[in-house]
């Protein structure tokens, strides 16, 4: 076994690899960009090397700099994590040429499975069932358009070098094909340096089933059962679980057998995942599951497999890379219970799931489950990298118990001022369809209305009580310079003290007006309906519900079921903000680059029609017209813009 390893990655996966390496007595080396100088993975490593500016192409994607860091620190092996250089065959070859151990599959295996079109053809030759489609070399618009018509709409356009939903576009009608093709090509070129695409038949009720495989240099290949990653948004996985719900032993044998056949076809060594698409219109059937692609690396969702099998996949990676045989034979790998993982993203579900960036001034994660993260309180969520900030992983005896446990954990998340999707995750996990296992990749889009936040009377009362208590303290201290109300009398800020000792309170919760009556009692406060409210150091109990809170300028942040709700006294509350379009101005919701401007000044535009496309955090975001009108101005393609910059102006139609 090698004695030191450099992890050519960042964030939670770097921290996760370090955890196993330290347990095995392997010295750890981190690399980092200027944006990550204070990152958690840098501090957790035994040694760290700066490799360049914030932009990934000048740091984490620069293989020469990574190799130089390995040489400078005496690292004997390189683990690529996932993303960045993890599936770059040229880099894998360069690592071996430098006399270092590559903790991953052979370059020839990466190349064989790295391009979706070539991989599909290889699987056809190996007898693995594949999704009907087109993966030919002719990439002309005319040929691709004709092939889409032959396959039949809806179709899925996919970048041949793609992954993680990038360069993937669903097209439902012929008239939309050209726009979908152009967008897929742009994303493919930007993310992978390759604008080629393939086309597949779109399965109307698809489920995403994948099989974890593992090979060694002694000819052994095993599977570690399947995962279900069907709960997705924009082709990005949101919740993953193992095993797959509704999976019979016969179907499991068919899909794991196909996965083993696929891995053996490329002489696979190390951890890999064979991804399948299943037609869920009539349950899982052996003849209704097709090969989609292979990921020649460790997957983001690998912890759920670890929890149901008891295997440390990173340890297996190290052992396979060192030439050791697999620790277990196929018959020794057993399924135990049910595991689920939720991806905690820095994004705002209330604002179209736009990524949220900034400093994590308040960051609390559940303590009684497995949490894989690469950030901590005081850390920064950067515009330069993926917005995933943590993974919440649970294990239980049954699927129902696992879902309930994960929902409870998501509800305990407290993050501010960066917005996160914890509340959204909780609602997904508690949705009756999800609990019943009735999930396909269209679940979130179909159930959008039922996944919106629900107003809580107890949370409203807690919010009013916080305002009343702060105002009452101000009345007592009058000109206390440290008061959150600036020393002004509390009754000027949404509180009216009545002769009956009842206090009528007005507040705004996320800009929505709330009012009610509370009264101070010996043990705290009481609502008009008799509900008791207790306020502690950093928690408030309203009835049977316990909420976390934090005082901020002009009010509080109340943490309710995984969501941060901004609570302000009624008179102190204000509106507005970046992205407002009431005047026809389309503002950048975050820093980014203009990659498309389909309209020019003077063009007429319909409400909802894309006006300008912003690329940020590795994804495209189309800003659309807020009403029918005429384009007055639009940003130039290639411009780098800051948050809240005006990207276009639309004048309302007369």
Pairing of the two strands 77-79 and 101-102: parallel
- Who's near 271: CB < 8 A, 6+ residues apart? 212, 213, 214, 297, 298, 299, 302, 313, 316, 317, 320
627-645 in b/e form (b: 16+ CB < 10 A) is: eebbbeebbeeeeebebbb
By the 8 A CB rule, do 535 and 558 touch? no
Specify the DSSP class assigned to residue 438: -
CA-CA distances (angstroms) from residue 491 to 6, 300, 463, 483, 485? Answer: 60, 52, 16, 14, 11
- Of 233, 297, 307, 526, which is the active-site residue? 297
By the 8 A CB rule, do 169 and 157 touch? yes
> Phi/psi class of residue 403: alpha, beta or left (left: φ > 0; alpha: ψ in -120 to 50)?
alpha
> Phi/psi class of residue 165: alpha, beta or left (left: φ > 0; alpha: ψ in -120 to 50)?
left
By the 8 A CB rule, do 486 and 478 touch? no
By the 8 A CB rule, do 270 and 113 touch? no
How far, in Å, CA of 576 to CA of 132, rounded? 49
How far, in Å, CA of 231 to CA of 426, rounded? 13
By the 8 A CB rule, do 370 and 304 touch? no
By the 8 A CB rule, do 213 and 261 touch? no
How far, in Å, CA of 548 to CA of 533, rounded? 13
CA dihedral 474, 476, 478, 482 (to 10 degrees): -50
The upper half-sphere exposure of residue 516, i.e. CA atoms within 13 Å in the direction of its Cβ, equals 24
- Supply 616's token pair: 């940020």
CA-CA distances (angstroms) from residue 293 to 57, 123, 273? Answer: 25, 9, 8
Residue 532 φ/ψ, nearest 5 degrees = -85, 140
User: Quick check: is 252 catalytic?
Assistant: no
Specify the DSSP class assigned to residue 448: G
* Burial bucket for residue 382 (CB in 10 Å: 0-12, 13-18, 19+): buried
How far, in Å, CA of 541 to CA of 528, rounded? 16
By the 8 A CB rule, do 225 and 252 touch? yes
Interior CA angle at 238 toward 232 and 241, to 5°? 100
> Phi/psi class of residue 495: alpha, beta or left (left: φ > 0; alpha: ψ in -120 to 50)?
beta
Q: CB neighbours (10 Å) of residue 302?
A: 29
Known catalytic residues are: 297
């Amino acid at each position: 076994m090698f004695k030191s390893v450099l992890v050519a990655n960042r964030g939670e996966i770097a921290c996760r690899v370090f955890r196993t390496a330290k347990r095995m007595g392997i010295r750890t080396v981190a690399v980092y960009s200027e944006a990550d100088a204070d990152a958690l993975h840098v501090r957790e490593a035994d040694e760290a090397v700066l490799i360049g500016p914030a932009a990934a192409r000048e740091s984490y994607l620069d293989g020469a700099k990574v190799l130089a860091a390995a040489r400078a620190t005496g690292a004997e092996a390189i683990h690529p994590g996932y993303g960045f250089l993890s599936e770059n065959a040229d880099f894998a070859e360069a690592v071996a040429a430098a006399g270092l151990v590559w903790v991953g599959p052979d370059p020839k295996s990466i190349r064989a499975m790295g391009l979706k079109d070539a991989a599909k053809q290889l699987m056809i030759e190996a007898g693995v069932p594949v999704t009907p489609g087109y993966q030919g070399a002719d990439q002309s618009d005319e040929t691709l358009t004709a092939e889409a018509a032959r396959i039949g709409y809806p179709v899925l356009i996919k970048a041949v070098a793609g992954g993680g939903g990038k360069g993937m576009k669903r097209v439902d009608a012929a008239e939309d094909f050209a726009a979908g093709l152009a967008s897929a090509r742009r994303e493919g070129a930007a993310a992978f340096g390759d604008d080629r695409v393939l086309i597949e038949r779109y399965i109307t009720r698809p489920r995403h089933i994948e099989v974890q495989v593992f090979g060694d240099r002694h000819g052994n290949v095993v599977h570690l059962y399947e995962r279900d990653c069907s709960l997705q948004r924009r082709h990005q996985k949101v919740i993953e679980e193992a095993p797959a719900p509704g999976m019979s032993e016969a179907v499991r044998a068919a899909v794991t057998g196909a996965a083993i056949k696929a891995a053996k076809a490329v002489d696979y060594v190390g951890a890999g995942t064979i991804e399948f698409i299943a037609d869920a219109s009539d349950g899982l059937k052996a003849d209704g599951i097709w090969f989609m692609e292979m990921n020649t690396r460790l997957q983001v969702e690998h912890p759920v497999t670890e929890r149901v099998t008891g295997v440390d996949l990173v340890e297996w990676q190290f052992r396979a890379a060192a030439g050791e045989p697999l620790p277990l034979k196929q018959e020794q790998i057993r399924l135990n219970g049910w595991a689920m993982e939720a991806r905690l993203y820095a994004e705002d579900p209330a604002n179209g799931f736009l990524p949220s960036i900034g400093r994590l001034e308040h960051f609390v994660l559940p303590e009684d489950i497995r949490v894989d993260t690469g950030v901590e309180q005081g850390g920064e969520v950067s515009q330069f990298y993926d917005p995933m900030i943590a993974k919440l992983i649970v294990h239980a005896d049954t699927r129902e118990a696992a879902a309930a446990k994960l929902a409870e954990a998501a509800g305990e998340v407290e993050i501010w001022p960066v917005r996160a999707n914890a509340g959204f995750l909780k609602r997904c996990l508690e949705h009756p369809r999800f609990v019943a296992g009735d999930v396909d990749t269209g679940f979130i889009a179909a159930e959008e209305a039922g996944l919106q936040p629900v107003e809580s009377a107890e949370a409203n009362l807690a919010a009013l009580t916080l305002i009343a208590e702060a105002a009452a303290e101000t009345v007592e201290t009058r000109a206390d310079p440290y008061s959150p109300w600036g020393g002004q009398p509390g009754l000027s800020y949404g509180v009216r003290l009545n002769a009956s000792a009842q206090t009528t309170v007005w507040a705004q919760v996320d800009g929505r007006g709330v009012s009610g009556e509370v009264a101070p009692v010996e043990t705290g406060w009481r609502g008009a309906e008799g509900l008791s409210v207790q306020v502690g150091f950093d928690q408030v109990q309203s009835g049977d519900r316990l909420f976390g809170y934090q005082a901020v300028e002009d009010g509080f942040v109340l943490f309710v079921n995984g969501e941060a709700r901004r609570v302000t006294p009624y008179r102190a509350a204000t509106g507005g903000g970046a992205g407002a379009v009431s005047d026809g101005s389309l503002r950048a919701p975050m820093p980014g680059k203009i990659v498309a401007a389909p309209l020019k000044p003077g063009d007429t535009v319909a409400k909802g029609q894309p006006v300008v496309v912003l690329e940020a955090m590795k994804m495209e975001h189309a800003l659309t017209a807020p009403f029918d009108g005429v384009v007055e101005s639009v940003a130039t393609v290639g411009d780098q813009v800051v948050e809240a910059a005006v990207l276009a102006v639309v004048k309302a139609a007369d």
